[in-house]
Structure 1
Amino acid sequence: MKNIAITKDVQSALTPDSVLQDLLQGNNRFVSGSSQATDNSALINQTTGGQYPKAVVLSCIDSRVPVETVLDQAIGDIFVARVAGNFENVDILGSLEYSCNVAGSKLILVLGHESCGAVKAACDGVELGNITAMLDNIMPAVRKSADEVDGEANSSNKEFVAKTVENNVRLTIDRIREKSKILQEMEDNGEIKIVGGVYNLHTGKVDML
């Protein structure tokens, strides 16, 4: 049973690779139906005075991808930043910098997912209120996929959508490194890793890119 929260000493002893392995093991437990039991009351009591999460996950807002659940993580284990299409902006970057540089997290996981609605909307050039500006962040991935995938460059082409989901994760990682000197230096120094994966809606599995 998960009933002991991460302490500062425990967090300090973690490595980026060990944290990634831990998250993937958690996803394997979720997929196999063997997620750990959790004593939430104990974790609440232990984390009232502070938190030492091991990772930060940048994910989509999609209700079918509850991040802590699919990675089998509990209170105090991970930060989660969510925006439709799991892209970075100044607020997300600040959140990632806080998670790693201030709060000590060892890993950034950019997590896309199969059949992402925001990605599909970008593929179709949807224009609607503030959604239009939001989708502009995904358009670089759409354009990249158009050069890599045959067939129609819209959401009717499942291969095109899948490639755009992957490209969006990869380009988001590239821009995080480009736009945040803090995080790039931490990664260069081996203090953190920035990685990406895609969640499969059909299986519940996270496949790393």
Structure 2
Amino acid sequence: MMFSRRRFCCAGVLVGTAATLDRALAADSCAVQTRERQVTLSPDDALKELKAGNERFLTQTMRNCDLLGQVRATAGGQYPFAVIIGCIDSRVPPELVFDQRIGDIFSARIAGNVADDDVVGSAEFATKLAGAKLIVVLGHSECGAVRGAIDGAELGMLTNLLKRIKPAVEASKNVPGEHTSRNKDFVQQVATANAKLAAEGLERDSPVLRDLIAKGELKIVAAMHDVSTGRITFLG
């Protein structure tokens, strides 16, 4: 079957148009966060952004952006829309599992994703002064810090840090089975309770954050990352 020159040319135009559109959409998805966009985002919008990013991560449709270009574009200022308070675990890199770009999120990482005074102060800076609309306390499965807190591990300065996880251990005492790190269900329950308690503690301990929440300018949520699947579940 022979194609006419006109039909061939039209097909070429359609292909070229589609390619141009794809490039435009890709460029838009890689555009760095701006002050204007940060201001217009609500806390719920910010949460949707992170949920969509994790879905892209899970479906292997992550954005492929020019990172050096983003470095240059953000050199004059940063306008992140969210704060992720996560564990130092190497399997839970927030920018990757939420498919976020340079300049999109503040990332505060500490063993056991505990909210000590330094972390609270960092969250106050990120929200009140830098304009982020959402704080996510991100716990994860198979957490070594949680295991250490359960078993009463002691090691230098880590000992005091693990004490901050003890309330979550106490809150999980009704979980069936032995209450040691050998019980995976217990470890998971403590890790989940720890993320929830840390999120609650941020609001309880910080008048700055409470004021932003009261004004509808901030939301604080807890979430859990499954290190075996990459899926992030937001807690109620």
Would the TM-score normalized by the shorter structure come out above 0.5? yes
Equivalent-residue separation in structure 2 for 1:123 and 1:46 (angstroms): 45
Across the aligned residues of Structure 1 and Structure 2, the Cα RMSD in angstroms comes to: 0.8
Query: Is residue 30–residue 101 contact of structure 2 (8 Å, CA) maintained in 1?
Result: no
Q: CA deviation at 1:44?
A: 1.1
SS in 2 for 1:97: helix
- Is 1:184 aligned to residue 225 of structure 2? no
What does residue 185 of structure 2 align with?
Answer: 159
Q: Deviations over 1:91-129 (max 9, x none)?
A: 101100000000000000000000100001101111111
Query: Is residue 3–residue 40 contact of structure 1 (8 Å, CA) maintained in 2?
Result: no
Equivalent-residue separation in structure 2 for 1:140 and 1:3 (angstroms): 41
Match of 1:57 among 78, 84, 88: 84
Alignment TM-score, normalising by the size of structure 2: 0.86
Equivalent-residue separation in structure 1 for 2:52 and 2:204 (angstroms): 30
Identity %: 44
Query: Is residue 30–residue 63 contact of structure 2 (8 Å, CA) maintained in 1?
Result: no
Q: Deviations over 1:113-170 (max 9, x none)?
A: 0010000110111111111111001000011111x20111111111111110110011
SS in 2 for 1:51: coil
- Is 1:149 aligned to residue 149 of structure 2? no
Moved over 3 A (4+): none
Show structure 2 runs of 5+ residues with no match.
Answer: 1-25
Instruction: Between 51-60 and 39-48, report the one with greater CA deviation.
Output: 39-48
Letter in 1 for 2:180: N
Q: Which has the higher helix share?
A: 2
What does residue 6 of structure 2 align with?
Answer: none
Equivalent-residue separation in structure 2 for 1:83 and 1:194 (angstroms): 18
Query: Is residue 134–residue 219 contact of structure 2 (8 Å, CA) maintained in 1?
Result: yes
- Structure 1 residues 61-100: aligned runs within 5 Å: 61-100=88-127
Equivalent-residue separation in structure 1 for 2:185 and 2:83 (angstroms): 29
Equivalent-residue separation in structure 1 for 2:55 and 2:88 (angstroms): 22
Instruction: Between 123-132 and 55-64, report the one with greater CA deviation.
Output: 123-132
What does residue 109 of structure 1 align with?
Answer: 136
SS in 2 for 1:198: strand
SS in 2 for 1:108: strand
SS in 1 for 2:131: coil
Match of 1:24 among 33, 51, 59: 51
Query: Is residue 198–residue 206 contact of structure 1 (8 Å, CA) maintained in 2?
Result: yes
Q: CA deviation at 1:69?
A: 0.4
